[in-house]
Amino acid sequence: MSGLDLNLLPPLDALLRKRNVTHAAAEVGLSQPAMSRALARLREIFDDEILVRAGRSFVLTPRAAGLAPRVAAALGEIRALYKEPSFDPLAERRVIRIAAIDVQTILFCGPLMARLRREAPGVELRIEGYGADIFARIESGATDLAFALTTSPLPPGVNSEFIASDRLALVMRRGHPAAKKKWRIADYGRYDHVGVTVLGDGRSELDARLAAVGVTRNIPLVTPHFAAALAAVATSDLVTTISRALARRFTDSFDLAVLSPPFPDTELHSTLVWSAVKNGDKLLTWLRGRIGEVAREVLAAEQA
């Protein structure tokens, strides 16, 4: 490769198509003497005349005629390296891996897949769980996107984008002894709770908030699934504090009472996170937009 002069490819392509030194020179922006020198160099490289006079015009030699389509194809491939590829979701064929909890899969996956079937039928989603290695998976590209909260700490090299807001809800069965009372923060210490831990580390922002005012919950059941927490409180005197949108989705089927927690700032701001190395991925950018649209529509309907 070190002996090749790739700068001769555009003049060669122009000569093969125009079959005229003057016209080829004008197309590639060379003077006629410069194009004549390029032709002389090409004749030396290929040991072939390339162009030969036939009356008042020039014709290609058999060798040059065979080169013409190959040179055009090679130049097309080289130009494509520097050209921004067009993006058409209808033409995409990809499997996208997203880390999500059951809140997002239950609320968003149905309407999101309905849109993808229409707008990007070749795109498939694989929903994955979290774990202590979630950020390593994102940074390596093994996981394309992950749902998180705006309060979630992110390591360097991981980007985030706000998508929608939900609220916390205090949930119990409709016949629960405390379903009709006005809850105070101290009541969190008087009733048994179902806890939900996504990463399995036992940490909870809610417990940290309660600890700040001297309240400790008794949590006889801990699960990684929010829907399981709802199922548990539906048939016991346990209570739980989870997504209001998810709780309302199951209010009738589980016969639940959905109350506002007795503390301010109950909003849950959801984000999508991804590796900074995938900032240029047009499909992921497009998909994040669609997920955000679906999430906002679903959560607005559930909060109404």
C-beta atoms surrounding 32 within 10 Å: 13
Closest listed residue to residue 269, CA positions, set 155, 151, 122:
151
Walk along the chain (304 residues) in steps of 10 and give the mean pLDDT of each run. 74 90 90 91 91 86 89 84 82 96 96 97 95 89 93 87 95 96 94 88 78 93 94 97 95 96 91 91 95 95 74
Q: Which residue has the tokens 């749902």?
A: 147
Q: Where are the strands (E) in 45-131, listed by range?
A: 51-54, 57-60, 94-99, 123-128
SS3 201: coil
Residues 195 and 108: their CA atoms lie apart, in Å, by 23
pLDDT tens digits, residue range 92-145? Answer: 999 999 999 999 999 999 999 999 999 999 999 999 999 889 989 998 889 999
* All structural domains of the chain: 6-82 (1.10.10.10), 90-163+275-303 (3.40.190.10), 166-267 (3.40.190.10)
**Structure confidence at residue 1 (pLDDT):** 46
Long-range contacts of 7-12 (CB under 8 A, 24+ apart): 8/38, 8/41, 8/42, 8/45, 9/71, 9/74, 9/75, 9/78, 10/75, 11/35, 11/38, 11/39, 11/42, 12/38, 12/42, 12/50, 12/67, 12/71
Residues 30 and 241: their CA atoms lie apart, in Å, by 74
Length of the chain equals 304
What count of Cα atoms within 13 Å lies in the side-chain half-sphere of residue 233?
A: 36
* Confidence (pTM): 0.74
Q: Which residue has the tokens 């997203």?
A: 98
Residues 251 and 225: their CA atoms lie apart, in Å, by 17
Residues 68 and 241: their CA atoms lie apart, in Å, by 71
Residues 127 and 125: their CA atoms lie apart, in Å, by 6
pLDDT tens digits, residue range 249-280? Answer: 999 999 999 999 998 888 999 999 999 888 88
